[in-house]
Amino acid sequence: MPKPKLDIPSLVEEARTFAKMESAFAEPTLFGVTDGKAVGTYLELKFRKYLVDRYEFEQGNAAKGIDFPDIGVDIKVTSVKQPQSSCPYRSARQKVYGLGYSLLVFVYEKTDDPKAKTGRLNIQHVIMVDAKRTADFQMTKGLLQILDNEGNTDDLIAYMTDKNLPVDEIEATKIAEDLLKKRPEQGYLTISNALQWRLQYARVIEQAGKVDGITRVGL
């Protein structure tokens, strides 16, 4: 019997089930591990294996850049102590118009059991951030205010320059002209400039379930 095709509602529902199971699971290989990247890789691989056993879907790879390219979703795993992760930089426009794909964010608290020599990931939040909400909060808030106040290309360029959007003058002008034709959606990530984007999720965690496009998956 063929496996069903993975879609976003199924992904969200399976993330809920998986998070409950994982929160109760004691894992020997996680004992003493403090490297967030190693924890993230462990959880992502385990979740993907869980899905492969149940669904048909296109496997992501480095070239595609995201975990589920056919449904446009990337997995992010982060500690509740410092909820952030890195993300490939494609274009400065991602800060204005969003990453171009949705995020499924697992936020965990890790504890170790010295007697059993196991580690446990208590998944505290599972949040689905729709692609339309993945732009930078302050960048989009400021640009929308300028547009609401009848700002022109000069005003928009000045604001992007002031906020250190990593673009040259030509690209800033193009973005400003595009903004006058197509307003951005209010984003809710904090995106820090670096060789890779640094995504911070505190606001997403706070706003989940309150804002259209940011879904808190009940555990």
pTM over 0.95? The answer is no
- According to the model, what pLDDT value does residue 61 have? 62
Question: Cβ(47)–Cβ(18) under 8 Å?
Answer: yes
How many beta carbons lie within 10 A of that of residue 116, not counting itself?
A: 11
Question: Cβ(25)–Cβ(33) under 8 Å?
Answer: no
**What whole-number distance in Å separates Cα of residue 99 and Cα of residue 62?**
16
Q: Which residues of the chain have pLDDT under 70?
A: 61-64, 195, 219
Task: Give the rounded percent of residues in the chain with a pLDDT score beyond 70.
Answer: 97
- According to the model, what pLDDT value does residue 95 have? 96
> Of 103, 46, 110, which is closest to residue 75 (Cα–Cα)?
103
Q: Which residues contact 217 (CB under 8 A, 6 or more apart)?
A: 12, 15, 16, 19, 126, 127, 128
What is the CA angle 201-135-62, rounded to 5?
A: 80
- According to the model, what pLDDT value does residue 64 have? 59
Report helix, strand or coil for 37.
Answer: helix
